Chains A and B, each alone.
Chain A
Amino acid sequence: MPTILAYVETRAGAVRKVGLEAVAAARATADAAGGGEVHALVVGAPGVGAAAGALGEDGADAVLVLEHPAFERYNPEATSAVVADRLTRGGYRLGLLGSSAQGRDLAPRVAGVLGVPVVTDVTALRLEGEDVVVTHPIDTGKVIATLVVRGTPALVALRPGAVAAGPAPRQPRVETIAAVGDPAATRVVTTELTLGTSTRLDLGDAPVIVSGGRGLRSAENFRLVEELAGAFGNAAVGATRAVTDEGWRPHSEQIGQTGRLVSPDLYVAVGISGAIQHLAGMRTSRTIVAINKDKDAPIFKVADYGIVGDVFEVVPALTAAVRAARSAS
């Protein structure tokens, strides 16, 4: 029965959703292979361990907590040393992380330290004897690869939101662990962390995303997108790279290959052409609506529902209609 280590990502002292997903995916993977323990590893500044008990909700049998002031911000070298040390000493079959900016940084570092194989942006995994079999989109999502990873432990970073797992709560034991060497004596140091100031839902959590493209023509016109998002009430605002390049919206709202990968229940694309790099970030959305004046725009190929028309005419009408529909229900 495999023991799996899940790295619980934190930011500014709080556990991130990708961290919980790593634990839940570890639970599901262990259970599918006949059971086995899931150990959740939480690394942060003093106080971060307060989150430890709650990780039982996601299926952790044990929570390993390392608190040290040098982990107040992401400390890549010291964190990779700790994860690598745990993986070697704990007899783990697998190390799971989120394929977020932090996880994509950490996973290859740990692989380097241990000399073990690593795969990132994985959308499904299972153990198969000596192998870990993973699903991994390649070529901007135009091809889906099934890869076989051989090695123990193997490192797998999971695409945020991709690996669904049911609840499997338990009462975890909590252990305190020590750092490896002096975590304050690293070459690379994170000197600043700037958190987004948006009060809106995060793109990764929102059930609805309203995204705008160059068709909006200016930063001011994004008001239309904001208002439509507001009408839904549970929506976040996204943008294309054309828009973030123009500086109309911050890079943090960019959706696509070089932005966020999202899978909301509803994705509304406003004045977006549907370039392959944009589709790579949103094509797995459950329902896609597109509004574009060009009936041949590629976005209509992935859209469930399309309206061919001018955003300046259609979007205000849609905003009013959505508001009316929601107040009626």
Chain B
Amino acid sequence: MKIAVCIKRVPVQEGRFAIAPSGTAIDEAGLKYDVNDFDLWAVEAALRLKEKAGQGEVVIVSLGPDAVQEQIRKALSMGADRGLQLRASAVPPDPFVVATALADALRGGGYDLILFGRVAVDDAFGATGAIAAHLLGLPCVTGISTLEIANGRGRARRELEGAQEVMEFPLPAVLTIDEGLNKERLPSLKGIMAAKKKPLEVRAATLAEPRVTVRRLELPAERAAGRIVGQGAAAVPELVRLLQTEAKVL
């Protein structure tokens, strides 16, 4: 099993977001960064598949500035074998451009599976994996929450709104991982030490001219400050009155 996992460095979402003076970028000061959650679940899936197969290689790929090496090392400390950074000063907000650069780097790599997260929590497109699959000429299933592989074929379940579907596909394939597949392992101390010695190759990314660009970023309008109606069951009559007369939803 040779598996590639594409991971993105993203701001930790619990942080306080502010807009940079340019008006077109996030102010990075004060934000913490980590691997996109969905990508961690993808790394975990790759490690389990390799463990089950008893042999293989898990390769981590991330496009971005040198800071992404921190996230690649985290995946290596979980147990992945080697890393590849596609160096770019910034990640463009155009999933087609990112997918093209990732596909170029993955093409001809002999991977049985190429895993993506279902969506990057920062740009929130969820498009990169399926575009890359097409560019690579590989079958693709998106947003999977279960996966079984046997005899060169795969079977995966996707959550829909109030329903589920099962898709079957031949390997090699591209999959994008939703939650539910598994929880990621924590890097062990031994893993962290070992990761320092694992190979991390750096190549320049070739990025096409983006066709999606940011005109403006804004913080959403704050909801008007709410109020505590009261404590315990005693507050219920007043709440019901407000729902009837003020919110008019009852």
A interface residues with partner B (beta carbon < 8 Å): 11, 73-74, 76-77, 100-102, 104-105, 107-109, 111-113, 115-121, 133, 136-151, 160, 187-196, 198, 202-204, 207-208, 232, 241, 251-252, 257-258, 260, 265-266, 276-277, 283, 286-289, 295, 300-310, 313-314, 317-318, 321-322, 325-326
Contact = CB atoms under 8 A, between A and B. Distances in A.
A138 B235 CA distance: 37
Contacts of A260: 161
Contacts of A194: 163-165
Contact of B166 (A146, A190, A301): A190
Interface stretch (B71-79, B106-114, B184-192, B241-249): B241-249
Contacts of B19: 143
28 contacts: A76-B167, A101-B160, A108-B127, A109-B131, A118-B127, A119-B127, A119-B212, A120-B125, A120-B126, A121-B124, A137-B124, A140-B13, A144-B217, A147-B212, A187-B170, A191-B155, A196-B163, A204-B161, A232-B250, A252-B164, A257-B121, A266-B249, A288-B226, A304-B227, A305-B229, A305-B243, A308-B228, A318-B239
A309 B235 contact: yes
A305 B239 contact: yes
Contacts of B179: 241, 258
Given A266-B249, A308-B231, A310-B232, A188 B239 contact: no
A11 B230 contact: no
B134 A112 contact: yes
A74 B69 CA distance: 39
A191 B163 CA distance: 14
A149 B11 contact: no
B148 interface: no
Provide the main secondary structure of the chain B interface: mixed
Contacts of A100: 160-161
B88 interface: no
A144 B219 contact: yes
A321 B240 contact: yes
Contacts of B243: 266, 287, 289, 305
Contacts of A301: 223, 226
A145 B163 contact: no
Interface stretch (B48-56, B57-65, B91-99, B194-202): B91-99
A52 B14 CA distance: 45
Interface string B80-94: 000000000000011
Contacts of A144: 217-220
B182 to A, nearest CB: 12
Contacts of B236: 307, 314, 317-318, 321
Interface string B195-219: 0000000000000000111111111
Given A191-B167, A307-B235, A325-B250, A133 B215 contact: yes
Nearest to A318: B236
A325 B169 contact: no
The 3 closest A-B pairs by CB, nearest first: A112-B134, A108-B130, A108-B127
A232 B247 CA distance: 15
B141 interface: yes
A307 B228 contact: yes
